[in-house]
Structure 1
Amino acid sequence: MTKQLTGAAALVLTLVGGAQAQDTAANEQPTKLEKILVSDGLTPTEQRKSGRAFTVITGDQIEKNQIRYVADALRLVPGFSVSRTGASGGLTQVRVRGAEGNQLLVVIDGVEANDVSQGEFDFGGLVADDIERIEILRGPQSTFWGANAMAGVINIITKKGSRDGAVSNARTEVGSDGTWLGGLSTRGGGEGYDYALSGVFQRTGGFNVSDTGSEDDGDRNGTVNGKFTFDLSPDLQLDATLRAVNRKTDLDAQDYMTALTYDTLDYTRSRELSSSLGLTHSALDGDLTQKARVSGLDVHRDNVSGFGRSWNDGNRYNGSYQASYGFDGGDGIRHQITGGYEWQRETFTPSHLQQTFSRNAHSLVGEYRGEFADQFFVNAGLRRDFNDRFEDATTWSLSASWEIPDSETRLHASVGTGVTNPTFYEQFGYIPGTFIGNPYLKPEESLGWDIGVEQRFFDDGLTVDVTYFDQNLKNEIATVYDASFRSTPVNRSGESLRHGVEVSATVDFFKGLTTTATYTYTASSEQTLAGGPRLQEVRRPRHAASLDAAYVFHDDRIRVFGEVILNGRMQDVAYWPGPERVPLGAYTLVNVGGSFKVNDTLEIFGRVDNLFDEDYEEIYGYNTQGVTAFAGLKASF
C-alpha cells in the first residue's frame, strides 16, 4: 500500500506541477487567507485566539474541489474516519478521534441536526450545497454545545445574502451510475435586509452493494435552504433559517446468520425539516450583546424491508438566551463575560409501540474570555444540565492560545469534560424477541485534553500544526446478548481510552499551487464487559492520511486538482450469529478533476473519483464504488 500511496501522490503532484510549468507568470504573490471566525464557545473568536484543535473548510474549497457530500470533505480532515454503507447517499457514519458517531454533534445554521431517535447524524443525506463554511472543533465541547458534543462539533454555516445587489447561480452535472444533479440559488438584499435561497436535487441509479444478485441500490435527495436577515433597528437584528430534506435510499439486507449481504428491495424514506428564529441586540458600542434563539427539528423515517414497514418520528425544540459583556482591563488586557440559559424538549414516536416518549432538559452556562497583550488568549466555561429522564450533568472547559512574540510559533491547548445522553432507542426501543431498551441508563462521561504547536514558515507560505490528544470514556453504553440472542444496552464499567497525534501541513507559495497534507495516528480501545483485555474500536483506522493539491493558471481561468486518501487497516464486527471481529483491509483512493471558466458567466467542470478503481470495504459485507466520472456546467448571473 505504501507503493500505492507514493505512486498516487506522484500522480497528483505531476498533474499540478505540469500545469504549473505551462504558466510560470501566473499568481506571482502567495495567496493571503483572511481571518475566519470560529464557533469556539458561546461567542466567536479569531482563529489565532482559539486554543482548541479546529479545521475550517470554506465553501470555496468545497465548490472548487467539486465535493458533493459533506462526508467526503471530512475525509481530508485530521482525526476523522468515514464509513458509508455502499452507494452515495447510503447510511454514512463519521467518527472523530476514535469516538462513536453519536458523540459528534452536527449543527446546521444554528439547529442541532443529530437524529432524535439514534443520537447520531446520518451524513449520507447531507449534500454539500450552498455552504459558506464548515467549522470543525475536535475534543470535548459539551460545555458550550451540550450533550452529544463529547468528541467534537461540526458547525455548518450556509451562505447568506448580500446587501449590494442580487446574484444567482445554476448548475447541472451528469455522471456514472445514472447520476444527475441540478441546483439553483439566489442571494441578494437591500438596505436593512438580505436573503439567500437555494435548492438542489441529486439522483443516482447506484450500483449493487451486495455480492449477490444484480439489483442496483440508488439514492434520491432533494434539499432546500433559506436564510433571511432583517434590521429591526440600528441595534436590533432578526434572522431566520429554514432547511428541508426529502430523500429515498435503497438498501440491501445483511443476513445475521452468515454475515453476508444479499439483494433485497429494502429502502428507507426520510423527511427532515428544521428552522430557527433569532434576535441579536447590541448596546454600549458593541460591548454588550444579547442573543435569543428558538429552533426546531422534525425527522420522520419510513423503513421498508422483508420484515414489513416500520417508521419513527422524532422532534427536538430548543430555546436559548445569552448576554455578553466585554470591557478593557488596561495595559492591553480585555475581558468578556457571558451567561446563558438553554431549554430543550425532545419527543420520539416509534411505530412498533404506538407511544410517544419525551424528555426535557434545562441548562445554565457561563463563559469567560481573556486577551492579554494581544498574544495570550484564554477561554473558560462551566455548564450544568438538569435532565428529567436521567442523571444531571456538570461539564467544564478550559483552553488557551499563545502567540510567542517575535516568532512564527503559536502554542494551543485545551482540556474539558463531555457527556453523551442515552438515545431514545437505547432507553425505550423495543423489537419483539430481538431488542429491549433500558430506561435506567446513565449518560456517558468523558475527560479529554490536547496540546499542540502551530509553526509558520516563509511568510505564512508553509504552516505546520502538530497536536497530541488524549480522551477517556466512562459509563460507555454497549449492547449485551442473552442465550437467545436478545439484546439490551447497559453501561459498562471501567474506561475506554483514546489517544493519538494529528498533523497537518499547508503549502501556499508556489505561484498558484496550494497543497495540504494530513496524517493521524489514533489508538482507540474499548473496555470489555467481562473485564478482559481491551479491544480495538471498530471502523477506526490507526493510521490515516490525505493529500490535497490544486493549481490555478491561465489568469485563474483553469484549475486542476487531485486528492489522495489513505485509510489504514481496521476491524469490524460480523454476526454469524454471534458478534465476531473481522479485518478490513487498508485502501488508497485517488480523485482528480478540473474546471475551466469560459467567461464571467459560464464554467465547465469535471472529475474522476477512485481513479485507480480501488477495491475496498468501509463496512464489512458492503461493496464500494469503483472508478466513476462526472461532468457539468455552472452559470452565474
Structure 2
Amino acid sequence: MPKKSLLSAAILLALPHALSAQDMIARLDPILVTPTRTAQTVDQTLASVTVIEREEIERLQPRAFADLLAARAGIALSQNGPFGKTTGLFLRGAASDHTLLLIDGVRMGSATLGSASWQFLPPAEIERVEIVRGPRTSLYGSDAIGGVIQIFTREGDGPARVRAHMGAGSFNTREYGLGVSGSQDRTRYSLSGSHFGTDGIDVQRGVGDSGRDGFQNSSVSGRLSHQATEGLELFGSFHHALGETDFDVGDPARDWIDFVHHASRIGVRGQLHEVWFSELSLGHSRDENETFQNGVASSRIDTTRYLLAWQNDLLLGDHLFTAGVDYQDDRVSGSTDYDETRRDNWGVYAQLQLDLGHHALTGSLRQDDNEAFGKETTGQLAWGYRITDAWRVRASGGTAFKAPTFNDLYWPGSGNPDLAPESSETYELGLRHQSGGFHADLAVFQSDIDDLIEWAPVPGSMFWQPQNVEKARIRGLELETGMTHAHWAATLSLTLLDHENRHTGHELRRRPNEIARLDLDRRWQDWSVGTTLIAEGRRYNDAANTDRIAGHELVHLRAAYQVNPAWTVRATLNNVFDRDYVTARQAGFGGQPAIDYEQPGRAFYLTLNFQQ
C-alpha cells in the first residue's frame, strides 16, 4: 500500500468511522500513536516499541500492572513488596522518574516525588499498553528520558457488549468487575468498574505489626466519542481509582496510605481540510496520598495537574508535518508547607516525518518554558532504511530532560530553587524483521545523563541540600522476538545493561544487568495452557554497591477453558517453585541490618470471565 495512503489513514485514525484502508492496516500490523503522537504501524515506527493488547492481558491474567511489565524488553522493576506497594520502574536503566506515564493522553505522576504511581494502575481497566523505549522529550516535554508508557482504557465499537469477571485466590485475594461498551450511529461508548482486594503478605518481617499488609483498589473508567459532523468529533475519557495500601514503619498499630489516582480529558478533533487534521483537548490529573501511622493521620501530599494541548497534522504529499503547543499547571497541597505550591510550563513542538522511498527520516524539536527554571530545548533525529519488505534498519539520536521536583526545589528548609534540570543524550541503532508469523527487534543504545540531582553538602557549610552533582552512563542491548505457528505462540525478551555512576564507577542502584522473559502458549479446541519464565541477574540495593541482592528465576503457569462463547474459566499458578526472592530492601541504619521487602511465594488464582 502506498505510504500516502498509510499517512492518510493514520491522520484519520482518531475518527470513529475511519476509511477502509485503516481497517486493512490494523489487521496487518498493530497501530500505535505514542512514538510520534501520530498513528503508525509498528513496522513504520523508527522507535523501539512494545504493544500489549487486551487479548494478551486476558491471557496472562496479571494481578497488578507490574506483573504485566515484568522483564519486558528494557524494563526492570523494584518493589517495596507486592499488591499496591511502592514500585520503581527503570526503563533502559534510567531512573524511575525518567519514564513518562500517560493514561489516554493525560500526563500522570506526582509533582513532589517526580515519579508515577505504577502500583495503583488496575489491569482490568486497560485496553492496550504502548511502551516506547528511548527519549521522547522533544514531543512530550519533561520526564521522557528513558521513554514513555501510555495506557489506553477500555473502548467501545460495534453492537453493545457486556463483560464481567470475578475471581479469588491466595492471600484472600478477591476481584470483580463489570463493563459495557459499543457504538450506535455516530457515538461510541465504554463504561466499566472493577475492584481488587487482598490481605497480602507481611511485607517486612519483624517490622511494625505482624499482620499482613493488604491492598484495596476500586476503579472506574469511561470513554465517549461522538461524530458531530462528517469531519468533526467530540471525545472524552476518564479513569478514577481509589483505595488503601498497608505498609510497615515500626509502629505497633496499623500503618497505611489512602490514595486517589485520577485522569480525565475532553476535546474536539477533526479534518479541517483534506490535508489538515487538528485536535484540541483539556486534561486533568490527580495523584493524592494521605499517610496514616500507628492508626493516626501523619501527612498528606496531593498533586493536581491541569493540561491544555493543541496538535495539528499536515499531510505534505507523502510526508507528515506535526506542530503543537501544550500547557501544564502543577499544584501541590497538603500537610507540607512548601515554599512554592504552583508552577506552569509552556511547550511548543514540531515534527517532520519524511517518506523517501526506501528511506524514512523523522526529526522533532521542542522548547519548554518552565516557571521554575526557564527554557529548555530538546530534539531528536531518526533514520530508517527498508532493506527488503521484511527487514528494516534504523538509527536515532536525541536529547531529553527531567524537571526538578517540588521536593527538590521547595522542600521547607532544604529545597534548592537554583537546580537545573537533569539532561541526557541517547543514541540507538536497531534492526527489525517481520514476516509471516515471526517478528524480531534488536536494538543497542547508549545514554549519557548529566546533572543528576543528589543530596550533597553545600560548600563552606555543614548544610546538605539537593544539587546537580552526578552523571551516569547506560549502555544496553535489547532483543524482543516472537512467533506464532499453528496453535503455538511464543515471545522472548532479553535485556543486557552496563550502567554506572560516572563519578564513583559504581553500578546504579536496584538495576539488574541481565533480564529475560519467555512466554509460551498452546491452544487446542476449547483449552489453552501457557507459561511465563522470568530470570533476572543480581543488583545492588545501594549506591556504594555494598548491599547485594541476589538474582532470581520465576516460573508461572496458566490455563483457560472456554465453556461456551460467552464464558471462560482461567487459572494461574504463580511462582510455581515457591522461590524466596526480593527486588529491594530497606537500608540499615545505626548498625542495624537491612530489611527485605518480601515478595509472595507460590500463589493460585481462579477467575471466571463473561463477555457477550
* TM-score > 0.5 by shorter chain: yes
Residue 569 (structure 1) aligned with residue 551 (structure 2)? no
Shift, 1:355, TM fit: 6.8
**1:477-626 matches, cutoff 5 A:** 477-480=453-456, 487-492=464-469, 495-509=471-485, 511-528=486-503, 533-554=504-525, 557-573=526-542, 581-620=546-585, 621-626=596-601
5 Å matches for 1:59-98? 59-98=54-93
Q: Kindly report which structure 2 residues correspond to 1:122-161, keeping only aligned pairs within 5 A, or say none.
A: 122-161=117-156
SS at match of 1:241: strand
Alignment of 1:351 with 2:330, yes or no, is no
State the 1:382 CA deviation.
Answer: 0.5
Determine if contact 1:102/1:120 at 8 Å carries over to the other structure: yes
Matched, 1:181 2:175: yes
What is residue 216 of structure 1 aligned with on the other side?
A: 212
1:159-198 to 2 correspondence within 5 Å? 159-162=154-157, 164-198=158-192
Deviates more, 1:115-124 or 1:560-569: 115-124
Q: Which runs of 5+ in 2 are unaligned?
A: 1-26, 586-595
Instruction: Give the one of 335, 348, 358 matched to 1:364.
Output: 348
| Deviation at residue 486 of structure 1 after TM alignment | 7.4
TM-score, reference length from structure 2 = 0.90
Q: Which residue of 2 aligns with 1:118?
A: 113
Give, as a single letter, the amino acid of the residue that structure 2 aligns with 1:243: H
Task: Tell me, yes or no, if the aligned pair for 2:195 and 2:219 is still in contact at 8 Å.
Answer: yes
AA at the equivalent of 2:505: R
- Cα deviation digits, residues 511-557 of structure 1 (max 9, x gap): 211111111111111134xxxx3210011001111111111111xx2
2:487 and 2:524 in contact (8 A); partners too: yes
Cα distance in 1 for partners of 2:348, 2:124 equals 35
Deviations 1:324-376 (A, max 9, x none): 21022xxxxx1121211111111112413177611111111111011122x32
Q: Secondary structure at 2:407's aligned position in 1?
A: helix
Matched, 1:239 2:216: no
Amino acid at match of 1:365: Y
Q: What is the identity, as a one-letter code, of the residue corresponding to 2:467?
A: V
2:398 alignment partner, one of 416, 421, 431: 416
User: In the alignment, does 2:195 pair up with 1:201?
Assistant: yes
Counterpart contact for 2:476–2:498, Cα < 8 Å: yes
Residue 327 of structure 1 pairs with residue 304 of structure 2: no
Distance 1:209 1:398 in 2: 45
Give me the identity figure in percent.
25
- How far off its partner does 1:426 sit? 1.3
Residue pairs, 1:394-433, within 5 angstroms: 394-405=377-388, 408-430=390-412
Cα distance in 1 for residues equivalent to 2:476 and 2:609? 41
Check conservation: 1:76, 1:547, Cα contact below 8 A: no
The answer for the alignment partner of 1:304 in structure 2 is 292
Residue type of the partner of 1:549?
Answer: L
Cα distance, 1:378–1:191 mapped onto 2, change above 3 Å: same
**Match of 2:423, as an amino acid?**
E
Question: 1:514 and 1:149 mapped to 2: Cα distance?
Answer: 32
Q: Contact conserved, 2:474 with 2:497, CA < 8 A, in 1? A: yes
Distance in 2 separating the partners of 1:420 and 1:37: 25
RMSD: 2.1
Give 1:488 deviation, angstroms.
2.4
3-state SS of paired residue (1:447): strand
Instruction: Give yes or no for contact 2:29–2:42 (8 Å, CA) kept in 1.
Output: no
The corresponding residue for 2:13 is none
Q: Take 1:486 and 1:172, find their aligned partners in 2: how far apart are those partners?
A: 55
Range with greater deviation from structure 2 (351-360 or 538-547): 351-360
CA gap of 1:76–1:573, structure 2 versus 1, over 3 A, is: closer
**2:307 aligned with 1:318, yes or no?**
yes
- For 1:308 and 1:224, locate their aligned partners in 2 and report how far apart those are by CA, in whole Å: 26
Gap change, CA 1:608 and 1:464, over 3 Å in 2: same
Greater relative CO (CA pairs within 8 A, separation 6+): 1
Gap runs ≥5 in structure 1: 1-31, 255-261, 329-333
- Please tell me whether the aligned partners of residues 253 and 264 of structure 1 are also in contact (alpha carbons under 8 angstroms): no
Deviation of 1:580 after TM superposition, in Å, equals 7.2
Q: Which residue of 2 aligns with 1:442?
A: 420
CA separation of 1:602 and 1:195: change in aligned 2, threshold 3 A: same
Deviation at 1:263, TM superposition (A): 6.9
Q: Deviations over 1:236-283 (max 9, x none)?
A: 1010011111010000127xxxxxxx8762111111222101111204
Distance 1:598 1:382 in 2: 53
**Equivalent AA in structure 2 for residue 113 of structure 1:** M
| AA partner of residue 87 (structure 1) | P
| Distance in 1, Cα, partners of 2:347 & 2:481 | 39
SS at match of 1:49: coil
Aligned length in residues: 573
CA distance in 1, matches of 2:342, 2:563: 55
SS of the residue 1:177 aligns to: helix
| Alpha-carbon distance between aligned partners in 1 of 2:545 and 2:611, rounded to the nearest angstrom | 53
* Separation in 2, partners of 1:100, 1:66: 28
Q: Secondary structure of 1:102's match?
A: helix
SS at match of 1:476: strand
Q: Runs in 1 of length 4+ with deviation above 6 angstroms?
A: 481-486
2:436 equivalent among 431, 454, 460: 460
C-alpha distance in 2, partners of 1:109/1:217?
A: 31
How far apart are the structure 2 equivalents of 1:323 and 1:402?
A: 27
> How big is the shift at 1:632?
1.6
Residue of structure 2 equivalent to 1:259 = none
How far residue 284 of structure 1 moved from its aligned partner, in angstroms, is 3.3
Equivalent-residue separation in structure 2 for 1:627 and 1:113 (angstroms): 33
Q: 1:169 to 1:625 in 2, by over 3 A?
A: same
One-letter identity of the residue aligned with 1:206:
G
TM-score normalized with structure 1 length:
0.86
Q: CA deviation at 1:602?
A: 1.1
Conserved? CA contact 1:39–1:45, under 8 Å: no
Distance 1:354-1:401 versus aligned 2 partners, 3 A rule = closer
State the alpha-carbon separation in 2 of the partners of residues 508 and 485 from structure 1: 62
